[in-house]
Amino acid sequence: MDETSDEPPTSAVLLDNCHFSQVIFNDVEKFYVPGGDITCYYTLTNNIAPRGKDWVGIFRVGWKTTREYYTFMWAPLPSGVSGHTAVQQQIQFKAYYLPKDDEYYQFCYVDQDGVVRGASVPFQFRAETEDDILVVTTQGEVEEIELQNKNLLKENEELKESCASLQKQNMDLQEQLEKTQELQNSFESLKSNTEKVEQELNSLKEENKHLKELTNCREEELHQLKEQIQKVTSEKEHLENRLKTALDHMDQLQSQVLNYEKEVARLEHDRTEQLECLNEENRQLRLTVAEQREHKEKLEHVLEDLKGWEAHLSHLLKNEQQQNCNLMKQLEEKKHLYQILQAKNNETDKENQELRKENDDLLRRLSQNAGGGLVFGNPYCGEIACHSASIRKCPMCDEVFPGAIDTSDFEAHVQSHLLECPLCNETFEKTNLQVFDDHIYCHGLE
């Protein structure tokens, strides 16, 4: 709502910790006409030192923290005035940023720490009327005002209680802030330790580089030994046998290599006696160890690749198992549904058979009692027999057809009330369409 893009500094400081007397607001009107710019006049006392991020905001009456401002303007710094005298200042608020309702508002001077240093009397943004000049109240209105005052006092007590709870929360937050500061200090110490570790790591890298240089020197020595060994061919078969033994027993050879290196160091002082034999053996062993190390590294790389593939395949296997489990659950649900539908179908067939049996019994009883139920006989018996012989009645819809109707037409009419399964030729009444659909669905599950 302000004219700048920067947010003013605010805080959650409670009202009891604010100093409202360090900045005094002057010539505050009771009403400001909406739609026009307003000028705020205030006095900086000698108890406040203005700073660059101080600001003046318009707050709705009842605010709790400085974050609840409606709009604000940066407070200008006084120029050419010593800090021990009061200074008159003014700020103009544009009409576009002012409130549009008729609630009560007040000016508040907030320093760059977010603490309120002064507040004005409340005012409204509306046109002044005669009712604002003279107010006549009746006894009932006075009682109502007293009741409102009691309610306001009660709300004031509640606000004080909430203020006390907020102060307690503020103390808890301060304790948490101290703990956070301790954690920050520990983090700084950890950071310094990390820097020391990084320095040690750099030194180790330097040592590693030095060792690589020494390794290069050893490789040159091995190259020289290789040239000397090429002159000796008499012991080739013996050394090949020893090489095969070394490949089969790599762990034993590593300990032997250390002994041979010590022996080489000792024999270097006595090259005149066994120079050719020992140098050849030492070079061959070094070559063997190097080949074994290279082979070991290759095997380690292959092992890491195999582990990666194993994890990937394990993940795929878990996914497949999960999918199979879901499919098995769906299959079990379909089977259960099929069993339920099959049971319903069996019950329906059983009911149909019972109904047909009852219908046959009723027809049989009707035919038996056609003329024997009356003392003097049934005068309509002959007519009923004649009439029943000359008409046909649909068993589905009770529609009556003349006896002269063609049998194929009568069967076509009865068939129009039935649905036939295209898979097992079982018939269902059209009124039992749901049973027919469930029957077709059960064939789909099979």
Domain residue ranges of the chain, discontinuous segments joined by +: 23-125, 419-445
Distances (CA, A) of 345 to 134, 256, 350, 438: 90, 85, 9, 9
* Per-residue model confidence (pLDDT) at position 133: 46
For 23-125, CATH gives 2.60.40.2840
* Per-residue model confidence (pLDDT) at position 134: 45
* Per-residue model confidence (pLDDT) at position 193: 87
* Per-residue model confidence (pLDDT) at position 16: 56
* Per-residue model confidence (pLDDT) at position 5: 45
* Per-residue model confidence (pLDDT) at position 402: 75
- Distance, CA of 28 to CA of 132 (rounded, Å): 16
Token representation of residue 202: 């750099």
Q: Backbone phi, then psi, for 230, in 5-degree steps?
A: -60, -25
* Per-residue model confidence (pLDDT) at position 253: 67
DSSP-based three-state secondary structure for 430: helix
Distances (CA, A) of 159 to 9, 117, 149, 155, 156: 25, 21, 15, 6, 5
Q: Which residues of the chain have pLDDT under 50?
A: 1-5, 132-136, 371-376, 380-389
Rounded to 5°, the CA angle 181-187-189 comes to: 110
CB 13 within 8 A of CB 65: yes
* Per-residue model confidence (pLDDT) at position 121: 95
